Every structure is written in structure tokens, then in C-alpha cells.
Amino acid sequence: MKKKTFPSFLFAVLFFLLFTHVEGVRADDPPPGWLQEAARMAVSKYEMKDVPAVVLRNEETVSVSSDGTVTRVRRYAVKLLLREGREEALASVVYQTDGEKVRDINAWLIRASGTPKYYGKKEVIDIALRDNDLYNEARVKVIRAVGDSDVGDVFGFETTTEERTVFSQFQFSFQNDLPVMYSRFSLNLPSGWRADSVTFNRDKVEPVVSGSSYTWEMRDMQPIPLEAGSPSRSSVSPRLAVSFFPTQATATQIKTFANWGDVARWMSELEDPQMTVDDTLAGKAKDLTANAKTELERIRAISQYVQQIQYISIQIGAGRGGGYRPHTATEIFAKSYGDCKDKANLMRAMLSVLRIPSYMVSITADDSTYVRAEWASPHQFNHCIIAIKVSDETKAPSVVTHPTLGRLLIFDPTDAYTPVGDIPEDEQGSLALIDHKDTDALVTVPVIPAELNRLDRNVEISLGTDGGITGKLNERTSGQSAALERGRSRRLSSADYNRMIESWISRGATGAKTSKIETRDSNEDGNFNLNVEFSAASYGQLMQGKLMVFKPAVVSRLDRMSFTEGKRFHPYVIEASTYSESVKIKLPVGFGVDEMPDATNVETAFGKYSTSYTVSGEYLTFTRSMKLNRSTIPADKYDSIRSFFGRVRAAEQAPVVLVKK
Amino acid sequence: MNHVFTEHRSCLVSFLSALVLMMATTAIVGQDKDWRPVTTEELQMKTPKVDAAADAEAMFWEVRVDDSSPDELALANYVRVKIFTEKGKDDFSKHDIPFAKGTRIRDVFARVTKPDGTTVLLNKDDVLEREIVRSSGLKIRAKSFALPGLEVGSIVEYRYKEIIGSAQADDMRLIFQRDIPVENISYFVKPYSGPGQSAMGYYPFNMGNTKFEKDKGGFFRATMTNVPAFREEPSMLPEDEVRSWIYLYYAPELPKADEYWARISKMAYENTKGALKTTDEVKAATAQAIAGASTDDEKLRKIYDFAKSQIKNTTYADKVTDDEKKKVRESKTATDTLRIKLGSAGDVDLLFGAMARAAGFDARLALSGDRSELFLDRTVPNYKLMLGSSCIAVKVGNDWKFYSPASYFVPFGMLGWSEEQQLALITDPKEMIWQKTPLSPSELSMEKRTGKFKLLEDGTLEGEARVEFTGHRAAAHKNFNRGDSAAEQEKTLKNWIRSNILNTAEVVEFTIENVSDPEKPFVYTFKIRVPGYASRTGKRLFFQPNVFERNSKPRFDANARKYDIYIQYPYSEKDDVTLELPPGFTLENAEAPAPIKDAQGIGVHQTDIGVSKDGKTLVYKRNFSFGNGGFIRFGAASYPVVKNLFETFNKADVHQMTLRQTTVADGK
């Protein structure tokens, strides 16, 4: 299978290039003054332990000429504080082969002893940035000095790139996760041009302005620790967004965006002409919906077709906005493959055949907090979905009401596992742009209620006198829980999926053997069903010949969440979900219940958890349920999460004691 | 051993050969431009033939390896795959053909035949070429294409030619077992037919009765049918020992195995004679090193210690300067190594050998296989394929013993695990000396854990512990932690503790000892607090006395298995736990799990549980070993037995005990 073999081949080559020792070539070249100066800086002490490295200088200078040529000079210096910090001894510059050139890339290592080492052209590795795309003009040049470096060394690099672009906006991260002592972004514009800026995640950084030159800077930034359940990095690290505006007379090819209306119009001008329809495409749309009776059924039929179109990405002409323009719908239909905007475009074209209006929607995938309203820019988006205009007859939690376009059903045709009516978790609550000329503001993508993202499980167990069990399990998931299960079942081969289920059952019931694993995926309601039959010897432990102890939570005990760190720096983000389970256990002949755990009821603002135990005749029924609300818990309320999940854990570990009658 | 062709060629561009080797696992081609007809039966096929659960299955997979040209090697593949599921569709939607400088990719064709019989051909313009990576002296490009109109039930076909300049089919692997099941896979090989003496030969691995047979146009053909997909399983033999593949090579003559190895033995002996020479410097250093040693064992241990402690082993050392590397490259003999106090792993072994000679022993280089890659088979006369490792054989009395101070973290008396229990060729100018290297017994690779804990009334566990690793287990831990900062080492081990005990564990006052020491046990100590360690009901407290195994699971959980089970080396565990019980509670049961031992004593598990006289402290002891008697490989057929044995071990490890509340604790 080529697809699998290729990455391993590539990896082997990259491994050879990146992890083999790099020899310097001009050891006698002195590092530039700015780097020597940075290397002399006294490093701060940080409250957080184990900081691997500190960034001494993080600087980018952008110079724009009146013909639209943009020259960027980046300077970066980092001091390595721990062995793990050696990974930071890496210079990189991303560029587009279409219209952008890396004029220069140089790096230096100043050892703790003061001895410098130079890295130049011979050490540069030029790599395709995205290995998975069929074609992508984005590349990265890298110099890696990891093998040479050690604790106490300072690594620095300087890159110069030049491009011709239609864009007039820049983003700059003052910091990632390492502490930074000095960070600066400078913009030099032709005379008379002006710039505006927005600062994210910090108070506004005001520029120092000198004529048409602007400089924004920050100093002495503390490290940003990586913690489980944290908000995304883009929500916590300080970032700068800058837009510049030429005078009327110059640089007419440069596209400026004063507000979201500008962005929406520009996007729709790129996208709308691509929504082509021919007879074949129209015929297919009609065939697919021949049996659909309602508007929602028609949309669902088209959505399912587009979802199964292969995701293939071909990125050309990004510097000229090519990254935002889909292929024509007829071309995508003929080839049966495309990327996110292609899929949205094809769906839009097919819906148009049915006279259902729809619009392309720009959004950022994988991070619902990334897009900010205060900076009107297409650069905030990396993904494209669709908004379908629906009548009042279509009811779905994914419908949003737009002030001018009316009721819009939001849908992501690239996500093959989330059906119409639901929205991928990482897009819920995100700001997004409807790419239509009448749009002048972002919309908020609906958040699907916790009740619709649920897992309901029924387990029937028969417990033998020797402690062995046989059981049947039925699990029904909906919403994003179903999407998760659906994704697993489709991404894995059936053998691997069965292995995964076997392992899952075995985690709760050691040595379990599964005799039946069945799944049923409902296109109509979006639910996913799993049925498993299993058995396990010695599930209950016999003691003293008269007691039998067992845990009634046989599968998926919620005991894997841990909150061991005493202190937390960031808030904890909880996604909305609902879970319930009923376990009906037939008790072994001759045994009665001696002891049962007490019922549990824990309720907080962010969640609710309860368990119950009842005995009726020869059956014991155990129930548990949990509902988590979409919340962000402040770091100073960390104890409330620890306490909540600590009680959940204790309840799920609690055993039942049977005694021989 | 099999030979099919007699030909000649000499040069080999090693990198390109390696690339060919990698590409051969995926490559394609076809001399003709016509597609073979798809039959109605193929089109209507609803379920796979080889593996009913397959997502996609190759109907045929053909590779033509044409080595007849003196200037280039041509690979031509033609593959036909039936898609059965969405996953199969995903897997075959995109195709990449990577190639290096000097290689040309030509005649790329692909087509999709849909279930209704219509075909969609790959447009020539849709074959995209891109540069994957470029650096000084290296450029890798790729031709890529997406298959148009692909849907479940489709038949995918693709073919292309790969022409590799200045390369030949020597040292080349032909992979018959792929990642998907294959109904019929054939390699056609046409050896070089120009002037010269070299012959082409091949060795089949896990190929059943498959042989190369003469085909048309000067090609030889080897075919396998109904080949299942290759899938990794936990605790399995190295891939080369289970996968179906053929090794191709050229040799000046078709050697007989014994003659070949005798020649290799002699050559290696002669080649290392100079390196092992006992010069005055070596003699002087040896005399000083073994001063005070009276027995052979003591002398060899002192030399072993010297080679490890006095020579910087640049293969393992954290910091090696450019100057040191240069010196090592220029070093030729043990005397050089001694002078510069530096050496690669191989140099360290040779110095040990030279000093052993200086101490009066017969010491030789011994060549062996590598159990982590491919086992040495003396019937296969090919050193490139079979020799994966080396050590020093020393004659002590009448016996040959094996040493390798080059393996920095392996203690005296042991070899690295992958070098143990391997056939070794002890180099000799006249005779062939084959001997198996020993396998270290389980007690030499031990995890010894001691803990003193206190169980609180609410189920929290508190206490301190010490964990010590020896032998191969210590080497594994040291290698894993090597190069990490102390903070990172602590993080790694804390995570390990949490995954073994309970992920609520709060670990403090952590120490790690001997991470970089070549021989001492790898030790860590810590204090721990584990909320929710024990489960509480109204009147009872349930707890697991073996704290260290609190979270353990059986080694195997899959219902079935295809390949043999293979444990790297015998190992053992020894636990010693004291647990102070909470006041107001008494033990309801103090039963210990019954001893577990299979008929041959391969796995032995013994647990002893006692209570102090005052009833306040529980004393738990556990001894476990596996692989005793050198049994580390078990047939796939015995999987249910082995799985059950490990489940029984686990059941004993997670044995629960009960405390019953007698009075309400008053804190006194």
C-alpha cells in the first residue's frame, strides 16, 4: 500500500537529514552583534520548574515597498537551559514557492564557553511543509543544530525573505510557550501609508510610530506551561495582528480589509464563480434526492454524498489568494475528490440544483477560540464549511439565524463522521464568516446542547458462583459521541476495530473474551450503536469461601482522568456531554448482597454525577450518569474539578460484596 | 540457499540500492500501455478472497526487476486492487512515488473501474511532481496522483516504471507480504547478462515452497498466492523472521555455506589480528589493570571494567567533540584506542580482546546475528544479511565465553539482549568454530521493589518505595533515560509510576541513581500519596496489597494470534511490601493467592502474605520470573495457554484483601 509506505520512506530520509550530526563550515565567522548582545543578557528566574530554554530575542521586521514587495527579516536567539532545550536549536523559515523567496538564512551557535559556530547554506534542508497534501507550494527551510548544542549554549538565526503578495496583513506571535525576554515586530511602510494593530490575549500593545515605521514590543514574558485541558495556545499566548493601508494612488494590487464586509465580499468574489453546474452534476443531485420528502432529507442526501468524496488537498497560488479559491464544482464532481472548500463548493452547487440557497463559510478548524471579531482578515481562517438557507420546516440545533440571510443550517462536509444537524466539537461556538456580499459581521456557530451529545449504555451481566461473568452490552451514542465512535469504526480495519473493543472490555474485565461485536450506524438519526457479547473468568473475587467482591461498573470506569498536579496555571476546559449507564446483574445462585456502596450524587455548576444501586429478587441494578456542561473553569477553582472527579473515581471503583447464604 | 542466475557486475551505489530496496516495497511499472481486462467476476466481487475482513485486497501485484542493463536498474510494477470498504477507499485515494536524484519515474498510469463497469483514467496532467526534501547533496522528489472517481466496490489499477541509474539488484529485498492481502503476487527478475563472473542468488524467508522459475524474455518468476496482510502483534519475532520476503544478491561464485563461513572466519581473523595485537603498551596497561586478580574471572572482569571506565565509548557518550570523532576515525588498533582513551563501541571490544590476550587468554572477534533483526542461519552464506553484531570470545579453560564491554550498560558476564542466544562464529584462521552465545537467566534481569506504606481510613495510601533494576532491565531503563535532563528523567519515571500504580498518585522526594553508571543497578526512590487507593464501602475497606501492581493488566488481551510469541529475554520481579493498616480495622481475610507454575517452570509466581503479631502491619512478598530454562519463544498455537498463564499471574498480582471496620478510629 503506497500510502502507508511513502511516509515511512520520507521519514527515513528526514530522519537521516534532521537527526544526523551537522558539521559547521565557517567556524571563524563571528556571530552578528545583535546575537552576541542577546547572548550576554542575564536570564530571569521563573516560577515554573523545568523551563527547557529561554528566548532572548524574537524579532521580525517587515518592509513593504510601494510596488507591493514585502521583505521580512527575522532574528531569533534562544538560550538552552536544560538538555531538552537542545530541540530549540533549530532555525526555520516557511515560504511559498509561488512568489516568495528566501534570500538568506544563517545560524550560529555560541557555546557556553563563548566559542561560536556558524551554519550556512550547506546545512540548510529544504522540506515540503505539508507531506499529506497532493501538492502544496508551502515549504520550509531548516537548519538544525540540535546535535551540536548543549546546556548553556545560545543558538540564533537570521532569515530574510522577499515576496510579492496581494495581502496587506501580518500576524506575529510575541511568544509561544517558552519564556521570552524581548520580542518585537516592526513594520516599515512607504511614506503616507498607515497601519492598525490588534493585540490578542494581552492588553493592547501600542506601537512606537516614527513616520511610516511602526514598532510593537514586549519584554520579560513568563513561560506558558502546557497543561491537559487547557484552552488552546492561541487563546493564551500574546499575539499581534497588523493591517496596513496604502494611499489611494499606489499599490493598487494590494487588497485591504477595513471590516468583515470587505472580507466577505472578497471571499465571495473568489468563491462564487466556482459554483458551476452541468447536466451530469445536476442529474446526480436530482438522483440523490429522488426519494427525499422534506427539505432536511434533501439536504441530508446531498451531504452524505459530498462527505464520502475523498479529501485531497492541492494548494496552488496561495500568495495570490489561491488558498481561498475552490476548484469548480463540476471538476470536483468529475474527479470525486477535493479539499474543504472544494467539498463545500460541490455541496453548494448540488443544493443550487434543488433551489436550496447556500453560502460558503470561513472558519478555523481545531480551535473554536482562534477567530477574533476585532481583526477583519481572511488570514484568521484555515477551513471552509457551508451554511444552508433553510425554511422554518427544518428544525436542527445547528441552525443559526443570520440578520440578513435568515435561518442558516451550518454543516461541515469535510467531517465525514458528523451528520447534518450536528457540528464538529472544535467548531462549536467558534466565530465564522458567511462569505456573502451582504455580510458585515461574524456569526457564532451554534453550540450543540449536552443532551444531544450523549452515550447511553445498557449492560446485562450474569455472575457465576465462581466469579465468572457473561455479559451483553448495548451502547447507543449520538452527536459528537457518535461521531467519535463512527470515526473509529471507519478509520480502523474491522480486525483492528474488534481488537480495540476487545481491549476496551478487557480493561474493565481482565481476560475477557468477546464473542460478538456488532455495530449499526444510522444515517437517519445520526446515532451509532454498538453491541458486544463477552465473558470473563474470575471477575468477582471469592474470599474466605463465603464472600464475593466485584465492581458493578464493568466497562469504561471513569478512572483514567487524573488531576495530580497541585497547582494549575490555566483554566480547565470542559466539553459538553451526557452519559448514562444501567448495569443489570444477575447474582450467583446461593449468594445475597452483604454490602453495597452508597448512592452518589455530586452536582456542581459544570457537571452532575450520580450512581444508584438497587436489588430486586436475583438482580442487582447499578446505574450511573454524568452530565458535563460546556465550561471553562478558572485555574483558582481547580480544586473543584479535582474534588468532582475524585468523587467520580471513588464511586466507580466501589465494589459490591456478596455473601453466601 | 537458492541460485537462479549467473551473471556479473561489481559497482553498487549503496544509497541508491537502499533507496531501491525501500521503493521496491511500493514500486510499480508496466512495459505495455494496455490495461489487462477486468473480468465480470472481479467487478462483481463483494467479499475479499484472502481475508474476509479486508478493506482492500490486491488481485494481483507484479513487479518486474530488470537488471539486464549495465547502466541502470528498471523496476516495473502493475497492481490491481479491489476496494471493499470506506477505509479501503481512503487508503488508496492517493498515491506517492518518491524518488532520488539519478532516478526517473516514467509511464505513470492509473485507472479506476467503477462497480458499474465504467472506467475513469488518470489524466496525465493530474500526475503532480513535487520536491519533498532538498539539502546539500541530496534531493528527493515525488510524483503524486489522486485516483479519480474512486468509490467502494471499485477496482484500482496503477503502473509505472522506475529507472535507477548506476544501480543493480544486489542486496535487494523483494517483499511478498504486503500491508493488504494479495491474491497473487509475482516478482519477475532479469539478472545482468553482460560479461563477468558474478552470479545472482536469492534467499527466501518465510516463503513456503516458492521458488524462482524460468519465465519469458530472460526473466525468472517467483509467485505466491493468497498471501495475508502483514500485521504486527505484541511480543512477536522480528519482522524479518515472520514476513514473506526474498533477498537478492550477486556474488562472484555460488558459495557452499561451510566454505563461505570458513573464509569469512579466516578473513575476519586476519583483519583483526593487527587490531588485537598485544603491544608493549597494551601489555603494560593490562598488567596494571589485572593487578591483584587471581582467577580468570577476576582478570577478565578487571579488563572489562577497564575498557568501560578508562575508554570514552563515543557510541554511547553524551558529548563527543568533532576532534574526538576525528581521532576515533583515525584510530586503527587497540593500542591506538588505549593511547587516545577514546573509541567507538567496536574499538572498545577490540581493546578488551587485546588486553585479554595480553593477560594470557585466547581472545578472538566473534561474529553473530542480531535477535532484534534477523537470526543467524549458518546455512545462508551471506555476511551482509546474517551478521548483525559482534563481540569478543575468550577461551577460559576449555570453554569459549563471550564479552562485549562495547554495550555500555550491560554488566560483566552478559551480552546485550539481542546478542544473547545467537549463533556466533568465533573467528579462526583454519577452522570454523560455531557456538551459541548464552542466554542470561531470569534472575540477572530483575526488577526489585520494596515499599513501606500506610493505608488510611479513607482509602488513601502513603509511603515510600525503592525500585531497582538489574541486567537487561537496567540497560533498557538507562538507555531510555540517556541524554535526558534530571527533570525529564524524573517526569518520565513519575508517569511510569502513575501508570503502574494509580494515576492519582502524587509522587514527591524523587531520587534516581546510576542512570549513567555502566553496571550498577538503576535505582529510583520516591515518596507517594495515592488518594482513592483502597475502595471503601460502609463497613469494609478493599485494597490490593501489591501496591506496585495496582494498575497492572495481563500481558496479552487479544482473543487470537497469528505469529509466535517472543519474549526478548528471561526476567524476574521481586516485591517486598509492608503495609500499616488503619486503626479500627481488622483483616477480614489474609489469604494469599496460590503459587503458580507451569509444568516446565518457565513461569513461576509465588506470593506470601503475613500479618505482624499485633495485627497492625501486613507483610507482602512476591517472586515472579518468566523465561526460565531459556524458553522465550512459544508457538502461536500455544497462545491460549500462554495468555491464560499471564492472566493467572495478573489475577494473583491484583489480588484484593478486605479490612473490616471494628471500631471508629479515635486517632490514637
Which of B135 and A219 is assigned the larger pLDDT?
A219
Compute the count of residue pairs across chains A and B with CB atoms less than 8 Å apart: 218
Q: Which residues contact A240 (CB under 8 A, 6 or more apart)?
A: A171, A172, A173, A174, A185, A197, A198, A199, A200, A205, A216
- Residue A562 binned pLDDT confidence (cut-offs 50, 70, 90): low
- Residue B12 binned pLDDT confidence (cut-offs 50, 70, 90): very low
E strands present in B427-515: 433-436, 446-455, 461-469, 506-513
* Residue in A135, A310, A549 closest to B150 by CB: A310
Mean pLDDT of chain B: 90
Sign of CA dihedral B307, B309, B312, B314: positive
**CA-CA distance, A193 to B610, in Å (whole number)?**
85
For residue B58, give the nearest of B84, B81, B40, B83 by alpha carbon. Answer: B81
Do residues A496 and A511 make contact, with C-beta atoms less than 8 angstroms apart? no
Q: Which three cell numbers stand for residue A251?
A: 499599490
Of the candidate ranges A592-606, B13-27, B501-515, the one whose mean pLDDT is the lowest: B13-27
User: At B649, is the secondary structure helix, strand, or coil?
Assistant: helix
- Beta-carbon count within 10 A of A418 CB: 27
> Chain A contact for B642, CB < 8 A?
no
Q: How do beta strands A53-64 and A180-188 pair? A: parallel
- Nearest-10 crossing angle of helices A295-307, A279-288: 120
Q: Which residues of B touch A91 (CB under 8 A)?
A: none
- Residue A561 binned pLDDT confidence (cut-offs 50, 70, 90): low
pLDDT at A9 over 60: no
- Residue B196 binned pLDDT confidence (cut-offs 50, 70, 90): low
- Residue B119 binned pLDDT confidence (cut-offs 50, 70, 90): very high
Identify the H or E element spanning B328: helix B322-330
Q: Which amino acid is at B521?
A: P
Q: Which amino acid is at A513?
A: K
Tell me which residues of chain A, numbers 594 to 623, contact chain B at a CB-CB cutoff of 8 Å.
Answer: 595-598
**CA-CA distance, A311 to B432, in Å (whole number)?**
60
Q: Which three cell numbers stand for residue A333?
A: 464532481
CB pair distance less than 8 Å for A490 and B86? yes
E strands present in B306-421: 312-313, 342-343, 362-368, 389-396, 399-403
The CA-based dihedral angle spanning residues B541, B542, B544, B547, taken in that order and rounded to the nearest 10 degrees? -40
* Residue-wise DSSP of A308-365: TSEE--EE--GGGTGGGPPPPHHHHHHHTEE-HHHHHHHHHHHHHHTT--EEEEEE-T
CB pair distance less than 8 Å for B136 and A122? yes
**CA-CA distance, A410 to A421, in Å (whole number)?**
8
CB pair distance less than 8 Å for A503 and B557? yes
**CA-CA distance, A385 to A434, in Å (whole number)?**
9
For B76-104, the pLDDT digits (tens) are 999 999 999 999 999 999 999 999 989 99
**CA-CA distance, A597 to B443, in Å (whole number)?**
43
Q: Which residues pair with A164 in a beta bridge?
A: A69
Of the candidate ranges A43-57, B176-190, B428-442, B609-623, the one whose mean pLDDT is the lowest: A43-57
Mean pLDDT of chain A: 90
Question: Which pLDDT does position B32 carry in this prediction?
Answer: 40
CB under 8 Å, gap of 24 or more: what pairs does A613-616 form?
A613/A552, A613/A656
- Residue B1 binned pLDDT confidence (cut-offs 50, 70, 90): very low
Q: How do beta strands B342-343 and B312-313 pair? A: parallel
For A182-213, the pLDDT digits (tens) are 999 999 999 999 999 999 999 999 999 999 99
**CA-CA distance, B442 to B545, in Å (whole number)?**
24
Of the candidate ranges A128-142, A646-660, B65-79, B441-455, the one whose mean pLDDT is the lowest: A128-142
DSSP secondary structure code for residue B217 in this structure:
G
CB pair distance less than 8 Å for B503 and A560? yes
Q: What is the ipTM of this complex?
A: 0.85
For B571-589, the pLDDT digits (tens) are 999 999 999 999 999 998 7
**CA-CA distance, B346 to B327, in Å (whole number)?**
14
What are phi and psi for residue B475, nearest 5 degrees? -60, -40
pLDDT at B313 over 70: yes
What are phi and psi for residue A3, nearest 5 degrees? -55, -35
pLDDT at A81 over 60: yes
For A145-171, the pLDDT digits (tens) are 998 899 999 999 999 999 988 889 999
Q: Which amino acid is at A619?
A: Y
Question: Which pLDDT does position B664 carry in this prediction?
Answer: 56
- Residue A314 binned pLDDT confidence (cut-offs 50, 70, 90): confident
Question: Which pLDDT does position B266 carry in this prediction?
Answer: 96
User: At A281, is the secondary structure helix, strand, or coil?
Assistant: helix
For A253-309, the pLDDT digits (tens) are 788 999 999 999 999 999 999 999 999 999 999 999 999 999 999 999 999 999 999
Segment B391-416 mean pLDDT: 96
CB pair distance less than 8 Å for B542 and A127? no
Segment B531-556 mean pLDDT: 90
Question: Which pLDDT does position B33 carry in this prediction?
Answer: 54
- Residue A359 binned pLDDT confidence (cut-offs 50, 70, 90): very high
Segment A633-648 mean pLDDT: 90
pLDDT at A493 over 60: yes
- Residue A322 binned pLDDT confidence (cut-offs 50, 70, 90): low
CB pair distance less than 8 Å for B487 and A50? yes
List the strands of the sheet with A406-411, edge to edge.
A399-402, A406-411, A383-389, A358-363, A431-434, A443-444
pLDDT at B472 over 70: yes
**CA-CA distance, B478 to B522, in Å (whole number)?**
7
For A368-381, the pLDDT digits (tens) are 999 999 999 999 99
| Nearest residue in A to B182, CA atom | A1
Sign of CA dihedral A314, A317, A319, A325: negative
Q: Which residues pair with A362 in a beta bridge?
A: A384, A433
DSSP secondary structure code for residue B374 in this structure:
B
Distance of CA A139 to the CA centre of its chain: 22
> Chain A contact for B594, CB < 8 A?
no
**CA-CA distance, B3 to B15, in Å (whole number)?**
25
Question: Which pLDDT does position B440 carry in this prediction?
Answer: 97
Q: Which residues of B touch A562 (CB under 8 A)?
A: 498, 503-504
Share of chain B above pLDDT 70, in %: 94
Of the candidate ranges A194-208, A542-556, A606-620, the one whose mean pLDDT is the lowest: A542-556
| CA end-to-end distance (rounded Å), chain B | 79
- Residue A252 binned pLDDT confidence (cut-offs 50, 70, 90): low
How far is the alpha carbon of A23 from chain B, nearest alpha carbon, in Å? 8
Q: Where are the alpha helices (DSSP H) in B210-291?
A: 239-242, 257-273, 280-289
pLDDT at A441 over 90: yes
CB pair distance less than 8 Å for A493 and B87? yes
For B355-367, the pLDDT digits (tens) are 999 999 999 999 9
**CA-CA distance, A555 to A532, in Å (whole number)?**
11
For residue B630, give the nearest of B570, B562, B572, B573 by alpha carbon. Answer: B570
**CA-CA distance, A165 to A258, in Å (whole number)?**
18
CB pair distance less than 8 Å for A510 and B150? no
Segment A510-538 mean pLDDT: 91
Of the candidate ranges A47-61, A318-332, A551-565, B360-374, the one whose mean pLDDT is the lowest: A551-565
Question: Which pLDDT does position A642 carry in this prediction?
Answer: 87
Q: How do beta strands B119-121 and B199-205 pair? A: unpaired
Report the residue of B81, B484, B589 to disrupt the A interface, i.e. the one with the largest count of A CBs within 10 Å.
Answer: B589
Q: Which residues of A touch B85 (CB under 8 A)?
A: 494
Q: Which three cell numbers stand for residue B462?
A: 502513603
Segment B123-143 mean pLDDT: 89
User: At B639, is the secondary structure helix, strand, or coil?
Assistant: helix
**CA-CA distance, A536 to A539, in Å (whole number)?**
6
pLDDT at A2 over 80: no
- Residue A317 binned pLDDT confidence (cut-offs 50, 70, 90): low
pLDDT at B458 over 50: yes
Question: Which pLDDT does position A13 carry in this prediction?
Answer: 43
**CA-CA distance, B35 to A596, in Å (whole number)?**
70
DSSP secondary structure code for residue B211 in this structure:
-
User: At B414, is the secondary structure helix, strand, or coil?
Assistant: coil
Q: Which residues of B touch A124 (CB under 8 A)?
A: 135-136
Question: Which pLDDT does position A318 carry in this prediction?
Answer: 63
Of the candidate ranges A6-20, A303-317, A333-347, B533-547, the one whose mean pLDDT is the lowest: A6-20
Of the candidate ranges A26-35, A503-512, B224-233, the one whose mean pLDDT is the lowest: A26-35
For residue B619, give the nearest of B657, B571, B646 by alpha carbon. Answer: B657
How far is the alpha carbon of A506 from chain B, nearest alpha carbon, in Å? 7
